[in-house]
Amino acid sequence: MDLKGKTVVLALTGGIAAYKIATLASMLVKQKATVLVLMTENATRFIAPLTFEALTGTRCMVDTFDRSFSFEIEHVAVADRADLVLVAPASANVIAKMANGIADDMLTTTVLACRCPKLVAPAMNTGMYENPATQANLARLRGYGVEVIDPACGRLACGAVGPGKMPEPQQLLEHIQRHLTCQKDMAGLHLLVTAGPTREALDPVRFITNHSTGRMGYELARAAMLRGAQVTLVSGPTALEPPPFVELVRVESAQQMHDAVMAAAPAQDVIIKAAAVADYRPAHTAGEKIKKSGADLTLELTRTPDILAELGAARRPGQFLCGFAMETRDLLDNARAKLEKKGADMIVANSLREAGAGFGGATNHVTLVEPTGCTDLPLAGKDEVAHRILDRILARRAGA
């Protein structure tokens, strides 16, 4: 899911954050994008065009009257090639020009001519950012369909602390990827994914859990987000970086996961339960740490709510319900039984016994178990597997 074949125009204005765009340009090149760089005269005082030329292998464009771009009208040629333009760092001055259709240099002329998605990352002193004139200009840009990437709060180059800091290159890259990777075939769909293990407390110190890392669920959330869905990710404790642009609800216990999922469920078109929910929890959670004694200790366990089964019983028409099954034996038989017992539309069966599948790793081998039969998917990266699962869900929703 790289950016091969996509042309990204990076438009830099005069701000100290310009240096961060060198990292972004390099990241985009690694993603196989064609990167064209436009700079205002002021931007070239902060970072040299040569830096970008070395990183991107394309000529950096600064003024309007340079005609070496295949003898075409350059700003129009660049605008025609662009799949996306990101103005970053965007100064208050250039934001004001863009908001008013002023085009008096290569950068503003090209951005005005672009018909592709436009993103703007304001970066400036807090006073300038919060000034009603700047805010009105940003509101106007939003009204024109420009995506404004909110600045972060932090220490600014001027020494002040507040909003105005340009987001880090990784975050800018994620905004670009969201626009340019994947067909938006899930636009308008609400999708909920659960991921990770649960923790069932024995006392304030100890808990019962399992080996789930949450990776498959997080890849599903990311894939659905990239395909345009509005994603809610209900996650047990994991060490993973949550995907951007999803609503993350953190929970610990099966009961908390149950409550979060049931609250969000009515609004969902698709629910995928990839979490490894504990089936049992301690019948009593001690208020104080359980002290050891000479005798053995027997724990009494009680059932947790079966969230998937409850969803299956209470779902609304048209809602697609997908569960996961991980077994150490009789995988497909168990998965088929689960499909029926839980009232799900699909069970994704993955074996714990197989190399390259199961907990933690980057790959998975799964079989999609449906009322009409089973589909074995090839061993692949969990991101790829996530997309194939979503493909099938979309096909089923379309009546396949």
CB closer to ligand C5P, 35 vs 193? 193
- For ligand C5P, which is the closer residue by CB, 62 or 275? 275
Q: How far is the CB of 143 from ligand C5P (least distance, A)?
A: 42
By CB under 6 A, name the binding residues for ligand C5P. 194, 254, 273, 275, 277, 279, 304-308, 323-325, 338
**Least distance in angstroms from the C-beta of 200 to ligand C5P:** 11
Nearest distance in Å: CB 375, ligand C5P = 18
For ligand C5P, give the closer residue by CB, 149 or 322.
322
In the complex, least distance from residue 27 CB atom to ligand C5P, rounded to whole angstroms: 35
Q: Rounded to an integer, what distance in angstroms lies between the CA atom of residue 78 and that of residue 96?
A: 22
Closer by beta carbon to ligand C5P, 107 or else 307: 307
Quote the least distance from Cβ 290 to ligand C5P, whole Å: 24
> Which is closer to ligand C5P, CB of 6 or CB of 273?
273
Considering the complex, what minimum distance in angstroms separates the CB of residue 78 from ligand C5P?
Answer: 49
Residue with Cβ nearer ligand C5P (175 or 338): 338
**Which residue is catalytic, options 158, 182, 322, 374?**
158
| Active-site annotation holds for 158 | yes
Could you list the active site residues? Answer: 158
